[in-house]
Amino acid sequence: MSLAGGSSPGRSLAGAPAPIPWEERPSGSGALLWRSSRNPIIGRHQLPGSNSIFNSAVVSFEDRFAGVFRVDDTARVMNLHAGRSADGIGWEIDPEPIAFRPADERVRELQAHFDHAYDPRVTWLEDRYYVTWCIGYHGPTIGIGYTYDFRTFHQLEHAFLPANRNGVLFPRRIGSAYAMLSRPSDLGHTPFGDIFYSESPDLVHWGRHRHVMGTIPWTWQSTKVGAGPVPIETDAGWLLIYHGVLTSANGFVYSMGAALLDLDRPWRVIARGHDYLLSPQVDYEQVGDVPNVVFPCAALVDRASDRLTVYYGGADTVVGMAHGHLSEILASLTGA
C-alpha cells in the first residue's frame, strides 16, 4: 500500500528534517504500536512549579523539533508552554506560558477572560504552524493561534461556542475550505462525546458541521471518542489516531485507536479499528493525577522508512512515546 500523500504533520520551514525518534519493535512482540523504553520522556516536575506536563503536541521544525506543551502548575492552573528539542526526546520547555498576541482588536476581548488552556495540537498548514487547544471562555471551547518560529504566537477567534474539546485541524484544505475535527461536549468531565467535522473559509467562521463517528457499545470506545494527532494523509485516506473511552467500575479508561477517513469527504469513515492500539497497562499510564489514561496528541511520520512515532499523555501526568509502522496500521484497517 502506498503511503504517499500531502504534507505530513510537522513540515519544516527550513533545513533537512531531523530523524524522528524511533525504537524497533521488541523481540517477540506482535503489537502494531509499542512503547518507547525511554518513557516517560517528560516528567511531571520538569519545570519549576509544574504539577504535571502531559497531552502535548510535537512537530518537526527546521532541523530539530518544537512543540506546545500542556503544563498544570502547583495552583492547578492549566496553560500552554512552548518547547524545543534536538532529538524529540530531551526537551527544553519555556518556564513561562505562551503570551499570545491578538490577531486583531476583537481578540483582545477574548483574552480579557482566561480560565484555562490545555490539550494542544499543532499542524503545519500552508505557510505556518497552527495551534488548536481547549480554552476556557464561559466553558471549554476551541482556541486557534499560529506561529512561525515557536517564539512568537498570535491568537485568532475561538472556533466554536462552548462546550467543545479536541479541536484538530487538517494539514491542508479540503476542497477550498479549512477543516477541523472536534468533540462537542458539556461543561464537566463529559460522559459522552462523538467526533464532528467542520469547515471554514477563513479559520474564523465555521459551519457545514458533519458527524464523523460515535461510540461503540461494550468496547474500549463505548463512552466517548475524540480526535488525537493531526490526521495523516495517505493514498488510502486520512489516517486518524484517536482516543476512545470506556466507563469501568473504577472510572474512565482512555485508550488509543485508529480509523481511516475519506480523502475528499473526511466525515465519511472508510474503516475503523476493532481493537485498541494502546491502552493503559504500565505504571505511568495507570497511576497519576487521573489514572488509566493514554491520550494521543501528536504524531511524527517518516514515510521513507515507514515509521510513525506518537506522543501521548500518561495518566494526565507525564508524556510518553509509542512507535509503529504506518503501513501495518493502515493494513489493519483496510486488510491490504
Q: What is the DSSP string of 272-286?
A: E-SS-SB-S-SHHHH
pLDDT tens-place string over residues 190-201: 999 999 999 999
Average pLDDT over residues 142-161: 98
Q: Above 80 in pLDDT, residue 14? A: no
pLDDT tens-place string over residues 261-287: 999 999 999 999 999 999 999 999 999
Pick the CATH number of 33-212+225-232+278-323 from 2.120.10.70, 3.90.650.10, 1.10.260.40, 2.115.10.20: 2.115.10.20
Q: Which of 123, 56, 5 is nearest to 310 (CA)?
A: 56
Q: What is the pLDDT of residue 336?
A: 64
Enumerate the domain spans of the chain.
33-212+225-232+278-323
148: number of Cβ within 10 Å: 12
CA distances from 29 to 26, 183, 296, 324 (A): 6, 34, 21, 12
Letter string b/e over residues 203-238, b meaning 16 or more CB atoms within 10 A of that residue's CB: beebeeeeebbebeeeebbebbbbbbbbbbbbebbb
Strand order in the sheet with 50-61: 50-61, 64-73, 78-85, 92-93
Q: What is the pLDDT of residue 17?
A: 85
The beta-carbon contacts of 175-184 under 8 Å, at least 24 apart in sequence, are 175/264, 176/201, 177/201, 177/208, 178/125, 178/202, 178/203, 179/266, 180/132, 180/142, 180/206, 181/212, 181/227, 181/231, 181/240, 181/266, 182/142, 182/227, 183/224, 183/225, 183/226, 183/227, 184/160
- What letter does residue 89 receive in the DSSP assignment? S
Grid coordinates belonging to 138 = 464561559
**From CA 197, how far away is CA 12, in angstroms rounded?**
27
Q: What is the pLDDT of residue 1?
A: 52
Q: Is residue 92 exposed (0-12), middle (13-18) or buried (19+ Cβ within 10 Å)?
A: exposed
Grid coordinates belonging to 286 = 495507570
In sequence order, what are the beta bridge partners of 79?
A: 71
Question: Residue 103, CB half-sphere, CA atoms under 13 Å: how many?
Answer: 14
Q: Which of 188, 179, 252, 180 is nearest to 215 (CA)?
A: 252
Kindly indicate the confidence band of residue 157, based on its pLDDT and cuts at 50, 70 and 90.
Answer: very high
Which residue matches cell numbers 471554514? 200
Kindly indicate the confidence band of residue 4, based on its pLDDT and cuts at 50, 70 and 90.
Answer: low
Single pTM value for the model: 0.95
**From CA 163, how far away is CA 279, in angstroms rounded?**
27
- Rounded to the nearest angstrom, the gap between the alpha carbon of residue 189 and the centroid of all alpha carbons in its chain is 18
Q: Is residue 31 exposed (0-12), middle (13-18) or buried (19+ Cβ within 10 Å)?
A: middle
3-state secondary structure (DSSP) of residue 194: coil
